A and B are shown apart, each in its own frame.
Chain A
Amino acid sequence: MQQAINALLIGISNGFIYSLMALALVLVWRSTRVINFAQAGQAILSTYIAYEIVTRTDNFILAFIGGVLAGALVGAVVEILLMRTLFKHVSDGPVAALAPVIASLGLLGLIRSVIGMVWGNDQKPFFPPVSTNGFTFGSTTVPFSRMNLLIVLGAATVMIIFTLIFQKSNLGLALRAAAFQPEIARLAGIRVGAIRTTGWIFAGAAGAVAGILISPNDAITPYSLDSLLIFGFVAAVIGGLESLIGAVVGGLTLGIGLSFILTYIGTSLIFPATFVVLALALIIRPQGLFGSKAARNA
């Protein structure tokens, strides 16, 4: 029983991080129909910036804000410099359809190499702002610390902000319109180009939050968020790629599912398990849990 609760707690904490990464991928997919593999690169770059601020000022809140702003900025720069140029040069041919995917893969490589040149490839310790010792109830200690609480609260806050923006504001309406019917949105006076950039900015910020929240559990390297990219992608696919709520549900499902597998079967199976989950999700329900109709309400 205790073991199951522990697995659940770890799963929830990880699941929220996966959800954030999935959110970032979904936001980009909705706005430009691109799976942005560079999201891991953008997130780790923001995390390194946060790391730099925290080592210089010793102020985690400042570092968090700086990192998230940097993530948003990088998202905007990538969309404006890379994606717009790419879509301008679009021609037909076997690679043309894949060009954005390959470009984002190239960008991932580019960001990693630049980080390696600036900060080095070795592990950098990212000190947690709050205790990572689990809470104790009576005589039992659960594997859920203040840091995990911060992760859950931080991720939930981002999700609530996004939901409010998407459901209640004009910007959210424009984002949804531009995603589903770009032509009609344009006729209705929405500047679709600018709205797309906004999608990338939100995604960059969400990825940054994910990177900064997950890193204090571990050291950072230019590659340390690669696996998060895969988990985020799987979570997004489970949720249906289109839906924000789907991304959150997908992330939590994957997080809790993997946590139970690790607890009861063995840690060696994390990647095979992820791959099996992905394959099952794609075979059983390719449109995702919240694909099709539900996506329009998200």
Chain B
Amino acid sequence: MHSLRRLFLFIFSTLILLALSLKIEELRVYQGAQIAIYALGISSIVLLTGYSGQVSLGNGAFMAIGAYTAALTQIHWHLPLFFTFVVGTFSAALAGAILGGGAARLSGPYLAGATLALAVGLPTLANQFTILNGETGLDYTSGTPPTWFGESFTLYKWFFWIVLVNVMLMMFFVRNITSSRYGRTWKALRGNPVAAQLSGIQVGGSKVLAFTISAGVAGLAGSLLGMIGFVGPTGFGLGLSFALVTGAVLSGVTSLAGSMLGAVVLVAIPELASVIAHRLGDTERVTSNLPGLIMSTLLILTVLFTPNGPAEQIRKHKARKQ
């Protein structure tokens, strides 16, 4: 019954958002798609770090794998769009499973370093293999919206619809798996690995599973990001992994609903930065570096003062009052 209610909630909110997109201006629709994608990317970290207690600074690399494989299957095999998403998701998940096998043996700082190495190293591969087309990247398109949607149905609206439906499907899956047996297993692992092992949980296997699913989720997010933007090494570099971690920390790492909040902040930062940069006179040095400055300052302040996220802090504060 509970999960049935959840299903209706997801369908209902998807329909509302789809309807809303017809009413708001173009730029906001595009940003809406960005927010949905970031929320999915962040939830891949929430699943991994918040539930299974493993850290990954390299989920941007899984997004890159998803985007590139999706784009390649579209270019070379002419797969329909939806199937390219499936391919992107599963190939990233496969990479996650391979890495997760190694990662399950590693503790915090080692894992952080290894995944960071992946985030820095993987995008450089784009320049090494001609099939990946270097800095120019690959052309990956959604195609034009069906004509029977009418003239007023623009490409950005089409992006938003595709993105939203896919994100909501995946989010529903993630939400269900985190409240399933596996979710509880991961929580137990994070809380106390020894106790978890004593109660019959396979530590290694569960950790690898978490890594695999997290990578798959990131892979879908990457395919979607590649579709609305472009598939190239600059878009999927260390900056993306960094943004995901920032978003996850801002949203408190343990809550999937919070990933929306983190995603909104990630999309809002460049807007805010451009307003401030305009005040400061719009020099190239300021405009290109201000978003990074705001983001890293926000990240440091959050970690310093509310390491478990602002939402958690407010909840604690309320609990204390009562």
Chain B, 165-203, CB within 8 A of any chain A CB:
190
Q: Which of B112, B246, B252 contacts A98 (CB 8 A)?
A: B112
* A35 pairs with B309, CB closer than 8 A: no
B109 beta carbon closer than 8 Å to chain A: yes
Hey, which chain A residues are within 8 Å of B112, CB to CB? 35, 37, 98, 101
Cα of A97 to Cα of B307 in the assembled complex, Å: 9
* A94 pairs with B254, CB closer than 8 A: yes
Say whether chain B's binding surface is mostly helix, strand, loop, or mixed.
helix
* B113 pairs with A233, CB closer than 8 A: yes
Cα of A82 to Cα of B301 in the assembled complex, Å: 10
* B307 pairs with A95, CB closer than 8 A: yes
* B121 pairs with A94, CB closer than 8 A: no
Hey, which chain B residues are within 8 Å of A112, CB to CB? 289, 292
A109 beta carbon closer than 8 Å to chain B: yes
Residues A271 and B120 in contact in the complex (CB < 8 Å), given A86-B304, A94-B254, A94-B308: yes
Chain B, 294-319, CB within 8 A of any chain A CB:
295-297, 299-300, 303-305, 307-309, 312
* B238 pairs with A226, CB closer than 8 A: yes
B117 beta carbon closer than 8 Å to chain A: yes
Whole-angstrom distance between the Cβ of B197 and the nearest chain A Cβ: 19
B272 beta carbon closer than 8 Å to chain A: no
Q: Mark A106-136, 1 if CB is under 8 A from B, else 0.
A: 1111101110111011000000000000000
Interface residue tally on A, bucketed by range: 35 or more
Residues A99 and B110 in contact in the complex (CB < 8 Å), given A37-B116, A107-B296, A112-B292: no
Residues A101 and B55 in contact in the complex (CB < 8 Å), given A107-B300, A116-B288, A279-B102: yes
Hey, which chain A residues are within 8 Å of B94, CB to CB? none
Q: Which of A97, A116, A275, A283 contacts B108 (CB 8 A)?
A: A97
Cα of A86 to Cα of B285 in the assembled complex, Å: 31
* A91 pairs with B116, CB closer than 8 A: no
Chain B, 16-56, CB within 8 A of any chain A CB:
49-50, 53, 55
Chain A, 140-184, CB within 8 A of any chain B CB:
none
* A98 pairs with B242, CB closer than 8 A: no
Q: Contact residues of A with B, CB < 8 Å? A: 29, 34-35, 37, 82, 85-86, 89-91, 93-99, 101-103, 105-110, 112-114, 116-118, 120-121, 226-227, 229-230, 233-234, 237, 268-272, 274-275, 278-279, 282-283, 286
